[in-house]
Structures are given as structure tokens and as C-alpha cells.
A and B are shown apart, each in its own frame.
Chain A
């Protein structure tokens, strides 16, 4: 077995399929006048996201980090006036390895100026249905999915109700620390598998899962994150926002992430002050989304594991 580790884990056919997929994506954006651009993969700043770990590296005696997404760089380019743009390249996340994860992966991220999340969701569905030849698209809110599958309102249910629901649905080796951990557990164990075969667009997330999305009251008056996720057959493919453009709020969220990391004994890094500065100078109103290309290729080619679509996953890299 070990003597075979020089070989790619993906077949030549899968690698040709990857090349064709990248070409198709570039054509999709060329036709829509969205500009391809590059941003640093080697960055002086780490992500602040409490559930994503950057991989630290040394660069000329300074601390640097492999980018977990191109988001900060692209937003600084938007503030500088680049307009609609996309990045198609590598991103890195510490400790993420499994049948659907590799620490090094290929990400597509694009931004549309003047658009909101609802409009960008339609473009995500266009891209996915074109590549995957899937016509069936369901669009529903985070609340609707929880109500449909668990008869539970994720925004208004009490902590005890959430905890009881988790305990009924699964056996845990730990007790969930808070609401958002309960919701994550129900989402990954119960709701993703129940989504069905087609494209699912899930929108209006709980406000505390906003990350870098605007928080705005929905029709019922509940403040929700204008964030969406795209799934195909229960596999999470994309995460998008109606982007936060308020620099003071951005700074507040960076500080809140820092506090969360401190409280949970996670690594602490200086926040990306250049993004706050770019927002202060004025980033256009826009919507943006990141999409996992390796998983898209898994779906397009009917591959069961990520190592079938990556030539050299981490064990062979």
C-alpha cells in the first residue's frame, strides 16, 4: 500500500474532468463580464472565524498564514473599485480532513456589486444546474427547513427545547455548549441528509451565525443573517452573504470573534485591520459567495470521496 503513495489518488479521467470543469466555470463568468483576479494565498493575517483555523507558516522570520478563503483580499479589491470579480484557486484549513474535506482545497469565490443575497442565490442555482444538469431547485429559509423536518422554530425555540431535540436525534459524547452548537448538530446530522436530491438553497440564518453577512429583520420581525448556503443532495457546496459594508460593525464582529476565541481557548491572531480600513473608505453594496470546487467535481462525476477528485490529497501531498 505505502509504496503506492507516489501515485495520484484520482484517476486520469477525474483529473481531465477537473480541467474541463475549471474551463466551464471561467466561461460562465467571462460571458457575464465577471473578472478573474488573484489575491494572496500567503497572508500576514489569519481568519478570525471561531470555527475555522488558519495554517501558520514562517515567512522571512515573520508569522504568516495560508489563506482560509480569498474573502478579505477580494473585498479590499472591491473597495478599490475593481467591480464584479472572482477568485478560482487554493484555500487552506487546519485540521479539516475526511471524506468531504482536505486541508488544501480549491475554492471559487465571486462578488456581484449592487446585488443582494436573493439575486446571487439565483446565479448560484444557474451555475450549479448548468454544470450538474439538475433542474430541481428548492429554495427555503433556515426556519422553514427546521419546521418541516423537526417541527421546531430555530429562532424562537427555548434552549431546553433545542437540547431535548438534539438528545432525541443523536447520541453525544459531550453536552452542547450553546444554541448554535445544537443547531449545527441538527443541521449536520438530521437536516442535511433530509434535503433530498436536487439543489437546495437555504437562506436567512440565525443572527448569531451571520459571519460577515448583514443582519436584517425578516417578515416576522426576527433579525436574521442575510446569509445563504447551497447544497446538492445534502452536500454543502456554497456559502454566500449580502455583504456587511459597515466598518464599525465589521470591527465589532472581529472583536466578538476574538472574545469567543479567548473564552474557548482557541488560537488568537491580530484581526485584519486592512479590511476594516477598506470598508471605512467605502466598499460597494454587494453580495458574495464561496463554492467548493472539489465537492462540485465529486457531484459532477459521481465520486464518493474527495480523494477521488484530488490528485494528491494530504496523505500523498
Chain B
């Protein structure tokens, strides 16, 4: 892989740090007028998700990381691995529970997710920001008090639990923001 110098560090650039692939979050050039130039760099470790700040001398470089994002269809879980397929080539990849992480509760068969490959193997799975899923379990709906704005927990078909308005029933489909787990509204089935 190519090496990148501090002046090429941009948000989203993938580099190797301490043997782990990282994504650059932020790069700040600091230089006292009469002093030495440094770059304060925030990086997200793509294995652990942890964000870390490290200071470099301006002009130092890091090795690029072989990390690419691919859109893939989720196929099934065999109990140990989650299986994904690239829709163009039909090439299949198996992702470990660690790689899938919190995304597991949003995974629905045949839907498309972003799979991050590191040296060709799945490193992380990111769901779309908004997903539409069916409620599989919740307390019975309460009619007539929609103005009260109360909420109740609802379990979705994928296993995620979200807070929904009281009037919703089992079998209804809703739109959810996967970044916050927030209910966005009812979705109409086509």
C-alpha cells in the first residue's frame, strides 16, 4: 500500500496505526508562529471502533490500509457466521459476530448493507441510516390517546427493540434510524 504524509490526511482516509486499520476522523495542523509544526490527528480504530488522538510531526507518514467499503446483500446466519453476497459478482463473504457487532440487530435477509473489507475479509458491517422493519412483538395498541405522546417498547423482526407510540400494533412496519435507534414513523407496505 501507498504511504500517506500528514498533509494528505483527510477525513475517511484509511491508514495503519500500531498494526490496526484506522480511519482518519480529523486532522488539525498546529504550529506556533516560531515553533515546530505538528498534526493532531483523530483516528477511529476500525477493529474496535475506538477513537484515538495522536500527534505527528508535520511531514511524517503512515502506510495506507487495504480497507474498502462494499454494498452487499445479507443472506443468512448459520449460527456462527453472517453470510453476505456482492450483488454484481455473487461473491460471498462470511462475517464473524465481532465484525457484525451491533449491526446484527438490524440485519434482515435480502436487504443491502455496507460491509467493510480489510485485506479482503469483513471487518465491520454498517446498516443504512434508515431501515423499514416489521414489529414482531409489543403490548396491545391503545386507541384514542395519540395526543398524549406516550411510548412503549416494541421488538422488531430482526431483534432490535425500539420505543414506539402506544397506538402501534404487532405486524405494522415502521421506519427507524439505526444510528440512534429512534422511531421515525409508520411505513406503508407496497
Contact = CB atoms under 8 A, between A and B. Distances in A.
Bound together: yes
Interface of A: 49, 51-52, 95-101, 170-174, 180-181, 184-185, 187-189, 209, 211, 229, 236, 239, 290
B30 to A, nearest CB: 5
Nearest to B59: A95
A211 B34 contact: yes
A314 to B, nearest CB: 11
Interface stretch (B35-43, B78-86, B158-166): B35-43
B55 A171 contact: yes
A124 to B, nearest CB: 14
Given A181-B36, A185-B38, A188-B35, A173 B28 contact: no
Given A172-B54, A187-B32, 4 more contacts: A51-B36, A99-B28, A184-B32, A189-B30
21 contacts: A51-B31, A51-B34, A51-B36, A51-B37, A95-B7, A96-B29, A96-B37, A97-B7, A99-B29, A101-B31, A170-B53, A170-B55, A171-B53, A171-B54, A173-B54, A174-B56, A187-B35, A188-B30, A188-B31, A189-B30, A236-B33
Contacts of A229: 32-33
Interface string B84-104: 000000000000000000000
A174 B36 CA distance: 13
A95 B35 CA distance: 14
Contacts, number: 69
Contacts of A185: 38, 55
Nearest to A172: B55
Contacts of B52: 171
Contact of A95 (B34, B38, B56, B58): B58
Interface of B: 7, 28-38, 40, 52-60
Contact of B35 (A97, A170, A209, A290): A209
Contacts of A174: 56-57, 60
B31 A239 contact: no
A51 B29 contact: no
Given A98-B29, A172-B55, A239 B34 contact: yes
Given A49-B34, A173-B60, A181-B36, A101 B55 contact: no
The 7 closest A-B pairs by CB, nearest first: A98-B29, A184-B35, A188-B30, A173-B56, A239-B33, A171-B54, A184-B36
B53 to A, nearest CB: 7
A96 B33 CA distance: 10
Nearest to B33: A239
A101 B59 CA distance: 16
Could you say which of A49, A97, A173, A209 has the most chain B C-beta atoms within 10 Å of its C-beta? A173
Nearest to A97: B29
A173 B52 CA distance: 12
A187 B31 CA distance: 10
A10 B184 CA distance: 37
Contacts of B35: 51, 180, 184, 187-188, 209
Contacts of A170: 53, 55
Nearest to A227: B34
A52 B59 CA distance: 14
Contacts of A96: 29, 31, 37
Contacts of B30: 98, 188-189
Contact of A188 (B32, B53, B56, B59): B32
Contacts of A180: 35-36
Contacts of A173: 54-57, 60
A51 B35 CA distance: 6
Contacts of A101: 29, 31
A173 B36 CA distance: 15
A209 B59 CA distance: 22
Nearest to B56: A173
Contact of B38 (A49, A97, A188, A290): A188
Contacts of B57: 173-174
